[in-house]
A and B are shown apart, each in its own frame.
Chain A
Amino acid sequence: MWSYLLRRLVQAALVVAVMATIVFFGVNVIGNPVDILINPDFDQEEMARAIKALGLDKPLHEQFFYFVKNALRGDLGISFVFGEPALKLIIQRMPATLELAFASLFLSIVLGVPLGMYAGLKPDSKFSKTMMAGSILGFSLPTFWVGIMMIMLFAVMLGWLPATGRGETTDLFGIQVSFLTWDGLTHLALPAVNLALTNISLVMRLARAGCKEAALQDYVKFARAKGMSEQRIVLKHILKNIMIPVVTVLGLEFGSLIAFSVVTETVFSWPGMGKLIIESIQVLDRPIIVAYLMMTVLMFVTINLLVDLTYSLLDPRVRLGGAGK
C-alpha cells in the first residue's frame, strides 16, 4: 500500500515537471505578451523597459532556470498581466469553479443514476425510450450552443433565471459560495445544468447498460428466488454493482469538469478558473498558463488515485498494488 502510494507520487511529480517544461517553452514559441499588453503609443525605449520588467529580456534558458528555482520554493511566478502571484490568482478563482463542478457532478448523479436504472429495468416503457433518445442529444450537442440556447430561453424569453455571473455569495468556512442564497442558486442553475448535460447523459447510459446486465446475473435471480423485495434487490444488489463503471467515469469526468469548464464559464461569464485560463492564453500570460496546467496535472493524478482507492472499497476483489498478495 505505502510503496504503491509512493510510486504514484513519484510518477505524478515527473508528469508535472515534464508538462511544465513543455508549456514553458511552448508559450514562448507562440509570441510575446508585451506586444499586446503595451500601450500603442509606446516608443522603443518603453518597449525595452516593459520587456525587462516582465523578465523577458533574459535568454530563455535563464528564464527557465529562475522559474524552476522559484517553483521549488512554491513560487510559480508573477502574472504578466495582473502583476500578482499566479498561484494566488488561480486560487482566488478556484471556489467558483469548484462550486460549479460539484453542482454539476451532483446533478449527474442524482439525475443520471435513477433515470438510467429506470431505463435499464423497464427498457420498453415510453418514458425510458424518450429519455434514452434525449441522452443522445445530451452529449452530442456542443456545450456552447446549448448554453446560449438556454440563456435565450430561460433568461431572455422566459425571464426566469439570470443570464450571467455568479450572483450573491456568502462566506462558508472562509470560502465564498453562492449555493446558500436564493440569488446565488438562480445564478448557479443554468451553468451547472449546462456543464452537467453531457455527464447526465453519460451516467444514464452507463447505469442503463449496467442495470440490464446485472438484472440477468445469477445473484439477482437467486435473490429474487429467496423472495427478497424488488426494492431491496435494486437498491442493494444492482445499484452497488453498477456503481463501479459510474465511479470510474465520473472520477475522470470530474477532473475535466474542473479543468475544462472553460466553455461554460465563458458562455455564462462565470468568474472561475476556466475564464482566467482562456483569457490568459489569449494574452500569453505564461506564469498563469504554466501554474494552471501544473495544478491540473496534479489534480488529475489525485483524482485517479482516489478513484483507485474507491474501487477497492466498492469491490473487495480489487487489491491496490497489482499482485494480490
Chain B
Amino acid sequence: MRRSLKFGAALGATLLLAAGAARADDVKIGIYSEPSAMDPHYHNLGPNNSFSSNIYDALIIQDENQNLTPGLAMSWEPVSDLVWEFKLRKGVKFHDGSDFNADDVMFTSERAPNVPNSPSSFGTYLKGKTFSKVDDFTIRVTTERPYPLMPVDLSTVSIISSDVGADVKTADFNAGPAMIGTGPYKFVEWLPSDRIVLVKNEDYWGEKAAFDKVTMKPIKSNPTRVAALLSGDVDMIDSVPTADIETLKKTDGVTLASGISNRVIYLHMDRFRDNSPFITGTDGKNPLKDLRVRQAISMAINRDAIVSRVMEGIAIPAGQLLPPGFFGTSDKLKPQAYNPKRAKELLAEAGYPNGFGLTIHGPNDRYINDAKIAQAIGQMLTRVGIKTQIETMPKSVYFRSASRGGPNGEPKYSFILVGWGSGTGEASSPLKSLVHTHNKELGFGASNRGRYSNPKTDKLIEDALATVDDTKRAALLAEATEIAISDLAVIPLHYQVNTWATTKGLKYLPRTDERTSLRSLKKQ
C-alpha cells in the first residue's frame, strides 16, 4: 500500500513535470493566410510555400535575407555554360525513416511542374531544365541557354520522398499520409480553416526545431488576430496591422519584429496608347508618354508623408525596384525628393500648365493600406494641377482588368498602383516582369501593365539573364535598373515593412520574403 502510494506520487510528479514541459514548448501561431493545400507542389504561391518550408527542405534554402544556403544540396556550381551540378547531402532521413538520395530529387523534378488542377505550378521555376542523375548523391541540371538563376529557382521547390509514388494526389497530402519531408517539423494534422499541427523532427540534419509542437491557426480578421495574441490564445501573429503597432509596442510582454520586405509599391503608367482611356483634358494626347510629366508626378508625391502618415512609419521610401543591398540593385539611386514647385514647372514645360485629368486605379485588399495610399497620391497630384480621381476595388476585380481588361486583352487602366515582391530576392525578377518589353515568346514583361518598351533595358536584362558570372550580372542588372528609373518606366513609392508580434519567450527573425516560417522562429 505504502509502496503504491509512493509510486503514485512519483508518477504524479513526473506527469506534472511532463505537462509543464509540454506547455513551455508548445507554441500557437495566428497566421493571416492559410495555405490552400498541404501538397507542396500544388499551388506555387506565398502562403503555401511558406508553410511547406516547415515540413520540407529544398536543395538550396533561402535564409531570412533570401541569401542562398545549403539545403539538401551541400554545394552547387556550373560545370559548363549549360550544366549545373549539385552535390547532395548524405545521411538525411525522411520523416518516415527512409533515406534521402538523388532518386527523390529526380522524382520531385518530375512531379512538381505537373500537378493536376494546379492554379499556379512550379513550371514557372522548373521549365526548360533537364534533370539527370549522375550517382546517388550527384544531380546535373541542363538548360538550353546559359541560366544564372538556377540556384534561386531550385530553392523554391520542396523535395518530396519518391516513396509516395507517382500517382500520389493532392488529397493524399491534405489528409496526411503523403506528408513526408526532411524538414525541421513533421506534419500531424490539418483541419482546414481551423488549425495545422506540427511536431519537432528530432532527427533533423540541420539546426533542430526550437519547439516540440506548433499549432498554426488561420485568423484572417485583423482585430481578431491582435486580440488572440493579447488574450493569450496564440503566442505569435504575423501581418500585424500598422494601426495596432503603437498599442502593441506599449503592451507588456509583447515583442515586435519588423523587417523590410522585397516588396516595392509602385505606379505603372500607360505608355502604349496615344489616347489613354482614363486621361481627360489633353485633346487625345497621352501626357504620360512625356518624361517631364512622369518626373512631375514623381516629384509631386511626398513619399515621406505617405510613410509617416498613411503607413504610420512602417515603410521605407523607395528609389528603385528592390531595396538597396539586394543582388543587382543600384547604389546610386535615391528616392525622388518631394518638390511640388518643380513639378508644376515641368508640367508647364510639357505643355500642361493647367494640368489634366487622371484616374488612379488600385486594389483595396492586396497591399498594406493600399486604398489609403491611392487616396494620398490622388490628393498630392491634384495639388500640382493633375486633377486625380481615385478608384479602388477588390483584388479579384482589379488584377484581371489591370493586366488584360481592355477590349483586345490589353491593360485597361491608364495609371495604376501595384506592388511587386521579388520572390527570387534579386533584381532580375522585377526587371524581367515589369520593365522588359511585353513579349509572349520570351515570356518577358508578363506584368508590364504600362507596356513600357526600351531596347536598351531589354538588351541589358536579356544579357544579365544569360550571364552566369555573379559580379558581371549584378552590374548589368544595376545598370538596367538605373536606366529604367531615370526614364521612370515605373514610379517607385515605398518598400513594405512587415511586422510579426510574439509574446514572452519567442523571437521571430523578420524575413524579407514576407514568409512566416518556423525556421525563423526561435526561443528568446
A-to-B contact residues, CB < 8 Å: 30-47, 49-50, 53-54, 78, 80-84, 89, 92-93, 96, 148, 151-152, 155-156, 159, 162-166, 266-269, 271-272, 275-276, 279, 281-284
Which residue of chain A has the shortest Cβ distance to B218 in the bound complex?
Answer: A269
The verdict on B6 contacting chain A, using a C-beta distance below 8 Å, is no
Give the CA-CA distance A14 to B43 in the complex, in Å. 37
Contact A39/B193 with A84-B170, A268-B224, A282-B394 known, Cβ cut-off 8 Å: no
CB distance A151 to B121 under 8 Å?
no
B120 engages A37 (CB within 8 Å): yes
CB distance from B268 to the nearest CB of A (A): 14
Shortest beta-carbon distance from B231 to chain A in Å? 4
Question: Taking the nearest CB of chain B, how far is it from the CB of A186, in angstroms?
Answer: 11
Contact A35 B403 (CB under 8 A): yes
Is B396 a contact partner of A30 (Cβ separation < 8 A)?
yes
Of B279-287, B343-351, B440-448, the one touching chain A: B440-448
Which residue of B has the minimal Cβ distance to A81? B36
Q: Would you give 15 A-B contacts (Cβ < 8 Å), ordered by A?
A: A39-B45, A43-B444, A44-B440, A53-B116, A53-B119, A83-B37, A84-B174, A89-B192, A92-B192, A96-B194, A148-B224, A155-B230, A163-B228, A164-B224, A275-B220
CA distance A41 to B44 in the complex (A): 10
A residues within 8 A CB of B505?
Answer: none
Task: Assess whether A83 is in contact with B170, with CB atoms less than 8 Å apart.
Answer: yes
Additional A-B contact list (19), CB under 8 Å, known A45-B127, A53-B119, A165-B194: A31-B396, A35-B400, A37-B119, A40-B447, A44-B440, A54-B117, A78-B117, A81-B36, A82-B37, A84-B170, A84-B171, A152-B227, A155-B228, A163-B228, A164-B227, A164-B228, A271-B191, A275-B193, A282-B394
Cβ contact within 8 Å between B193 and A163? no
Q: Is the CB of A93 within 8 A of B193?
A: yes
Q: Are A83 and B42 in contact (CB under 8 A)?
A: yes
Nearest to B123 among chain A residues (CB) is: A46
Query: Considering the complex, which residues of chain B in the window 34-69 have a beta carbon less than 8 Å from any beta carbon of chain A?
Result: 36-37, 39, 42-45
A151–B229 Cα gap in the complex (Å)?
12
0 or 1 for each of B231-245: is its CB under 8 Å from A? (1 = yes):
111100000000000
Name the residue among A30, A46, A267 with the largest chain B CB count within 10 angstroms. A46
Whether the pair B231, A155 counts as a contact (CB closer than 8 A) is yes
* A162, B234: Cα distance in complex, Å: 10
Inter-chain contact B233/A165, CB cutoff 8 Å:
yes
Please classify how large the interface on chain B is, using the bins under 10, 10 to 19, 20 to 34, 35 or more. Answer: 35 or more
Give A148 to B44 CA distance when docked, in angstroms. Answer: 34
Closest chain A CB from B188 CB (angstroms):
15
Q: Which residue of B lies closest to A152 (CB)?
A: B227
- How many Å from the CB of A22 to the closest CB on chain B? 18
Taking CB as reference atom, which chain B residue is nearest A27? B396
Contact of A93 among B192, B217, B398 (CB under 8 A): B192
> B233: which of A163, A267, A276 is its contact (CB, 8 Å)?
A163
Given contacts A39-B45, A49-B121, A53-B118, contact A164 B30 (CB under 8 A): yes
Most buried by A among B119, B195, B233: B119
Report B-chain residues with C-beta under 8 Å of the C-beta of A271.
191-194
- Report B144 CB to chain A, min CB distance, Å: 15
Contacts of A159 in B (CB 8 A): 231-232
Instruction: Tell me, rounded to whole Å, the shortest Cβ–Cβ distance linking B50 to chain A.
Output: 13
Residues of B within 8 A of A266 (CB): 220-221, 224
User: Given A93-B192, A163-B224, A164-B224, A40 and B231 touching (CB < 8 A)?
Assistant: no
B401: interface (CB < 8 Å): yes
- For the complex, what is the distance from the CA of A268 to the CA of B39, rounded to whole Å? 27
Q: Once the chains bind, are B423 and A40 in contact (CB under 8 Å)?
A: yes
A34 and B231 contacting across the interface, CB-CB below 8 Å: no
Chain A residues whose C-beta falls within 8 Å of the C-beta of B221 in the assembled complex: 266-267, 269
Least CB distance, A291 to chain B, in whole angstroms: 16
Closest to B232 in A: A159
Query: Is residue B12 contacting chain A, with contact meaning CB distance below 8 A?
Result: no
The answer to whether B223 has its CB under 8 Å from any CB of chain A is: yes
A282-B365, A282-B394 are contacts. A151–B231 as well, Cβ < 8 Å? yes
Q: Once the chains bind, are A165 and B231 in contact (CB under 8 Å)?
A: no
* B225 nearest CB across to chain A (Å): 8
Mark contacts of B418-433 with chain A using CB atoms, 8 A cut-off: 1 yes-contact digit, 0 otherwise: 0011011000010001
Contact at A83–B124, with CB atoms within 8 Å? no
A93-B193, A163-B233 known; A41+B118 contact, CB < 8 A: no
Contacts of B443 in A (CB 8 A): 43-45
Closest to B438 in A: A44
| Chain B min CB distance to A102 (Å) | 18
Give 1 or 0 for each of B85-127: 1 = CB within 8 Å of chain A CB: 0000000000000000000000000000000111111011101
5 closest cross-chain pairs (CB), A and B: A43-B443, A271-B194, A155-B231, A37-B119, A35-B399
| 0/1 string, B194-232, CB within 8 A of A gives 1 | 110000000000000000000001111101100110111
